[in-house]
Amino acid sequence: MAPADRRQVGTVAIRPVTGEALRRYIPDLARLRIQVFRDWPSLYEGDEAYERRYLETYIRSERATVILALDGDRAVGASTALPLADEAEYVTGPFTGRGLDLGRFFYFGESVLDRRYRGQGVGVRFFEEREAHARSFGAYETACFCAVQRTDDHPMKPAGYEPLDDFWKKRGYAKDPTFVTHFPWRDIGETEETEKPMAFWLKRL
């Protein structure tokens, strides 16, 4: 994509990338995902080889996009989106279990941003860009994403932690407690994966 298509937010440029154009950024994004998701509430004990394989999903999916936050040519943030039908069964299960048409939903995978670049409005732009991408096809009615549910008494919960619920509500999303799935990953310090409850948030497009 040409430089003229870049959008500036604070000190970073916002650039939607699709298909093979994403490949050059995969090493940066794999490391960034591990760095960001190590924090609460994910507590993810990352594996770079797995992360690189996971990100290949966004190259293979024809309608997927990754919204990059770039400092020069270095990716310092990313926000992913693809048709829900292209996701794994543990993501689509709550929808197929209700007989819902996956073709109506666009799934927002995650947003990660180096903490040094937070507070500049990049998170808001991530949502705007993904929603615009989903609407561009004229086929999707609802955007959705899911967030990990940790107990309030978890020993690794930092004091004064403020969840992102209010931020998501301001973007127009509503949590549906009846839509819950489970994602497997290894917590920091653990040797085995355990399944984490993930609650869905939805917004009509």
Mean pLDDT of 95-122: 95
Q: In what order do the strands lie in the sheet with 174-185?
A: 7-9, 12-17, 65-71, 74-83, 105-113, 142-148, 194-204, 174-185
Give which of 143, 19, 121, 109 is closest to 69, Cα–Cα.
121
pLDDT at residue 119 is higher than 80: yes
Cα 114 to the chain's mean position, in Å?
14
pLDDT at residue 1 is higher than 90: no
Mean pLDDT of 25-35: 92
Cα–Cα distance between 97 and 63 in angstroms, integer? 24
Could you tell me the CATH number of the domain that includes residue 76?
Answer: 3.40.630.30
Give the total number of structural domains in the chain.
Answer: 1
Q: What tokens appear for 128 in the block?
A: 């705007």
Question: Containing domain of residue 37, as a range?
Answer: 3-204
pLDDT tens-place string over residues 150-163: 998 998 999 988 89
The pTM of the full predicted model, rounded to 2 decimals, is 0.92
Tokens 């955007």 locate to 143
From residue 77, alpha-carbon distances to 1, 9, 88, 148 in Å are: 18, 12, 23, 20
Mention every residue, 6+ apart, whose C-beta is less than 8 A from residue 183. Answer: 90, 146, 148, 195, 196, 198
